[in-house]
Amino acid sequence: MHKYLTTLACAVLLQGHAWAADPVRREQVELVQGAPVKKLAGKIKGYATVEYSIAAPANGKFDIRLNSAHPSLYFNVSANGSDEAIFVGSRDGAHFHAGVTGATRYKVTVYLMRNAARKNQTASYQLDIGSGA
């Protein structure tokens, strides 16, 4: 019995990496109303994600457009502090647009769909982010 428990414990420890949290890179972005479109370029691999915390100025429009050659790369948008997405790229497309009444902070998460992530694929992308009146 002792040998069985030791073997089981070793197997669990060796599989520990599968339970580890996926890497998340976080970046802060500040937008100025009327400023040129901000271009954020990056690359992700596998289950890694990038979270941009974006401050959108009040009383304007807020746009995000994703450009990538990878067909399984998407982004989601949620209000800061909320886990519920107001925009889901895999369902809603590659362009998010919102009117902003007060100064608002959004969380934009760039990710690969599971079909590409489990194959540890890599995707390059560019997010064009702008705000205007």
Token output for 86: 């107001």
The per-residue pLDDT for 51 is: 96
Other CB atoms within a 10 A radius of the CB of residue 51 amount to 17
The per-residue pLDDT for 20 is: 54
Cα distances (angstroms) measured from residue 29 to each of 32, 85, 130: 10, 19, 11
The per-residue pLDDT for 34 is: 80
How do the pLDDT tens digits run along the chain, 133 residues long?
A: 545 444 444 444 444 444 456 799 999 998 887 888 999 999 999 999 999 999 988 888 889 999 999 999 999 999 988 889 999 999 999 999 998 888 889 999 999 999 999 999 999 999 999 987 6
Q: Domain boundaries in the chain?
A: 22-132
The third-level CATH classification (topology) of the domain covering 22-132 is Jelly Rolls (2.60.120)
Q: The whole model's pTM is what?
A: 0.80
Taking only the tens place, the pLDDT of each residue in 87-98 is 999 999 999 999
